[in-house]
Copies of this chain bind each other. A is one copy, B any other.
Amino acid sequence: MAANVSSHYHVDLLVKEKRNLEEYENGDRHRQINNVISSPSSVLPPENGNGGIGLKLDINGGKGVTSNGGLSVSVPATPSLPPVISGWYADVSSLSPGEARFYEVEKVLFHGKSKYQELLVFQSKKHGKVAILDGSLQLTERDEFAYQEMLTHLPLCSIPHPKKVLLVGGGDGGILREISRHNSVEQIDICEIDEMIIDAYKKFFPDIAVGYKDPRVQVYIDNGIAFLKKIPEGTYDAIILDAFVEMGKHAVELADNDVLRSIAKALRPGGVVAIPSNNPWSIDSSMEAIILKCQNIFGGSVNYAWTTVPSYNNGTMGFLLCSTKGPKVDFKNPINPLNPNHFGVAEGPSKFYNSEIHAAAFCLPSFAKIATGSEVA
């Protein structure tokens, strides 16, 4: 069974990055102009024969008209999946072939294209607002905090007094909200390529984009890879990559040795980086090679962790935690617990992260231990 689990998927480090789409347009204007918005199928690049899935959004037209605000959403390009369930959004991922998740839609709130990517925001019936980027589910309000909190606090709670933190991607602001809980932090830089993302999240997800309200935040609108290469050596205590959608050309780019070396160089000795990675149910033996590569490049600790996020593939998300050569970082035994009385700009204490769940995130099922090259206890 373990072999069965790992054989379907072969993915590497994942990233959301620049895409060559059309000009950024306001969603409302877009909706007035077009009844049917079709993204090119290249939005989700074919991947091991599972891809080529195009997102087609059919508004006020076609046979999908229902009482749900005249909305229908369809995913037409797989051979045997028919195009439309009226009033439901189909989440189809090249990482989960043979499976489709449908969310009941109450209302489309935003649909816009920038020169980089295409964002869809809808109000779901039971999962809060949902954001879809280039046809991939980015987050739901119901469970976004699990991902945001773990990606942030796994690295920041593992080192003493982090002061300078860089976020690459993460334009939604949720990671900024979580960094904000750390009082020791003096400087929070975010490099996000796409202003449309920031604007849309500020408008439709104020509880997530609240992170931008932290006065320590400095926003750089730039290409993350170019930005990383410009950073003076040893600048940051921690870097967080918020980058996890379907792997494509740009994911390879970010997993490229040069990019990882740029990150390692930008970190101080004993500095840490968190990178979203394959979920435990989709990892295979290539994960061991990735970990070895990271060990070579970063020179400190490299660990794989995971957590539960129901909306993501297999209901889980994996993380790579790496530290550079220098003061030893023991990710599995965090030394910098969250102060439950410091919320920063967040509205209350963390909902998911605590010191116990931090340590538990590094405990893997046996099949995942084997795939990551660690011994089964």
The stretch of A141-149, A183-191, A289-297 in contact with B is A141-149
| B contact residues around A366 at 8 Å (CB) | 349-354, 357
In the complex, per-residue mask of A296-316: 1 if CB is within 8 Å of any chain B CB, else 0: 000000000000101000111
Is B143's CB under 8 angstroms from A5's CB? yes
Whose C-beta in chain B lies nearest to the C-beta of A86?
B82
Q: How far is the CA of A281 from the CA of B351 in the complex (A)?
A: 12
In the complex, per-residue mask of A343-377: 1 if CB is within 8 Å of any chain B CB, else 0: 00000011111111101100111110100000011
- Is the CB of A81 closer than 8 A to any CB of chain B? yes
- Is the CB of A20 closer than 8 A to any CB of chain B? no
Which among B2, B96, B315, B354 is the interface contact of A308 at CB below 8 angstroms? B315
Is A98's CB under 8 angstroms from B124's CB? yes
Q: Which of A1, A5, A357 has the most CB of B within 10 A?
A: A1
The stretch of A24-32, A125-133, A266-274 in contact with B is A125-133
Q: How far is the CA of A367 from the CA of B357 in the complex (A)?
A: 11
| B contact residues around A353 at 8 Å (CB) | 365-366
Shortest distance from the beta carbon of A54 to any chain B beta carbon, whole Å: 17
Chain A residues engaging chain B, CB cutoff 8 angstroms: 1-2, 4-5, 8, 66-68, 80-82, 85-88, 96-104, 124-128, 141-146, 207, 280-281, 308, 310, 314-316, 337, 340, 349-357, 359-360, 363-367, 369, 376-377
* Leading 9 A-B pairs by shortest Cβ distance: A315-B315, A98-B126, A360-B363, A360-B360, A98-B125, A356-B363, A310-B314, A98-B104, A100-B102
- Beyond A98-B126, A99-B102, 11 additional contacts (C-beta under 8 Å) are A1-B207, A98-B124, A99-B104, A100-B101, A101-B101, A308-B315, A308-B316, A351-B365, A354-B365, A356-B363, A360-B363
